[in-house]
C-alpha cells in the first residue's frame, strides 16, 4: 500500500518520526508540495496525509486509487469533503490534540499585552535598568487581569479550557456559542453583549461562512477602549483592515494574534504595522507535545480505517 504525506514539515520539522506508519505500507514523505505537483506525487496512493496542501475536486478526481485522506489538523477546509464523499473516500481529522498548547498560547499573547514582558526585557538588555535611578521602572502601564471580564467566542474543548484558566486568574467569564453548554462559573451571552462587556475577547470558534469577518468594524466599535482582542483560531474571523484602524486610532487597547487571513502574510498586511499588535506565526499548536499527539492520532486514524472501524471521520 502506498502512503503519501504531502506536507510533513509543518507537523514534523525533523524532531519526530513517522516510523509508526512503516507497518501499514510504503510511505513517501514530502516536506512541502506545491499545488502543481500534488497530483503527480499522489498518483497510486491509497492513503494521503495532508496538513495545508489542498485536495480539491480536480485533484481528487485525478486519483482513482485514493481511498483515505487523513488531515493532519482539526480544520478540514483543505479537502473537498463533498467530492470525497461522492467517491467513497474516507476523510478524517485530528481533533483536540492541541488544546493545552493553544490555551497556553492564548494566555501568552494576553500576558504579553498586559505585562509587556518583551518590552521590558528589551529595555533591560539595552542597559535601561542599569542606568535607572530606582530599583524598578516600567516601560508602559501594566494591567492586572484579576477582576476583569473575559469573553470567549466558541466554547468547545479549547474555549472551555480557556475559561478554567481565566477563572483561576480571578476573571469573570462570558461566552458565546451556537450551542450553549452548562459550565460552572461562566455566563452565556449573545455576541454583541460579549463584545460590549468584555475586557478581553478571545476567539476559539471554527471558520465558516457565518463566522467569517465576525470581528467586524461594528463589533470592534462595541469594545471598550481598554479591551484586548486575542485570536488563536482562524485569521479570516477578523476584518484585518478594521482591526488595524481600531488599533491605530486607539479604539481598543491591543490585539494578540497567532493567525492571519493569508499565511504567510503579505508585507502590506495592515496589522504588521498596527499599534499594540502582538503577532506570532501560527505557532499556538506547535509545541512538541502537541505535535506528538497529532502524529499519534493521525497514525491511529489510518490504522482504524484499515481495520474497518474508521475514527474521527468528517466525510
Instruction: Write out the catalytic residue numbers.
Output: 234, 263, 282
Closest CA to 260 of 229, 238, 227, 242: 238
Residue-level length of the chain: 315
d(CA 169, CA 145): 7
Query: Coil, strand or helix: which one is 162?
Result: helix
**What is d(CA 136, CA 88) in angstroms, rounded to the nearest whole number?**
65
200 neighbors 227 (Cβ within 8 angstroms): yes
Q: Counting runs of H as helices and runs of E as strands, what totals does the chain give? A: 10, 12
Residues 232, 203 contacting (CB under 8 angstroms)? yes
Amino acid at each position: 500500500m502506498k502512503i503519501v504525506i504531502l506536507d510533513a514539515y509543518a507537523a514534523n520539522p525533523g524532531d519526530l518520526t513517522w516510523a509508526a506508519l512503516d507497518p501499514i505500507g510504503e510511505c513517501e514523505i514530502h516536506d512541502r508540495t506545491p499545488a502543481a505537483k500534488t497530483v503527480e506525487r499522489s498518483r497510486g496512493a491509497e492513503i494521503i496525509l495532508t496538513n495545508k496542501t489542498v485536495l480539491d475536486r480536480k485533484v481528487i478526481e485525478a486519483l482513482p486509487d485514493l481511498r483515505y485522506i487523513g488531515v493532519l489538523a482539526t480544520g478540514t477546509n483543505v479537502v473537498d469533503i463533498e467530492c470525497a464523499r461522492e467517491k467513497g473516500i474516507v476523510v478524517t481529522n485530528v481533533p483536540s490534540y492541541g488544546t493545552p498548547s493553544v490555551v497556553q498560547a492564548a494566555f501568552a499573547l494576553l500576558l504579553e499585552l498586559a505585562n509587556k514582558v518583551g518590552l521590558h526585557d528589551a529595555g533591560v538588555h539595552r542597559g535601561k535598568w542599569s542606568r535607572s535611578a530606582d530599583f524598578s521602572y516600567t516601560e508602559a502601564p501594566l494591567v492586572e487581569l484579576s477582576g476583569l471580564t473575559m469573553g470567549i467566542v466558541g466554547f468547545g474543548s479549547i474555549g472551555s479550557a480557556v475559561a478554567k484558566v481565566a477563572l483561576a486568574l480571578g476573571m469573570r467569564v462570558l461566552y458565546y456559542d451556537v450551542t450553549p453548554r452548562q459550565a460552572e462559573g461562566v455566563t452565556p451571552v449573545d455576541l454583541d453583549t460579549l463584545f460590549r462587556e468584555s475586557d478581553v475577547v478571545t476567539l476559539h470558534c471554527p471558520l465558516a461562512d457565518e463566522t467569517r469577518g465576525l470581528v467586524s468594524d461594528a463589533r470592534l466599535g462595541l469594545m471598550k477602549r481598554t479591551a484586548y482582542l486575542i485570536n488563536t483560531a482562524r485569521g479570516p474571523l477578523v476584518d484585518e483592515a478594521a482591526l488595524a484602524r481600531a488599533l491605530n486610532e486607539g479604539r481598543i487597547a491591543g490585539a494578540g494574534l497567532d493567525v492571519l487571513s493569508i499565511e504567510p502574510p503579505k508585507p502590506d498586511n495592515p496589522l504588521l504595522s498596527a499599534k499594540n499588535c502582538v503577532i506570532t506565526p501560527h505557532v499556538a499548536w506547535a509545541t512538541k507535545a502537541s505535535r506528538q499527539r497529532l502524529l499519534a492520532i493521525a497514525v491511529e486514524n489510518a490504522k482504524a480505517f484499515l481495520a474497518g472501524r474508521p475514527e474521527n471521520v468528517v466525510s
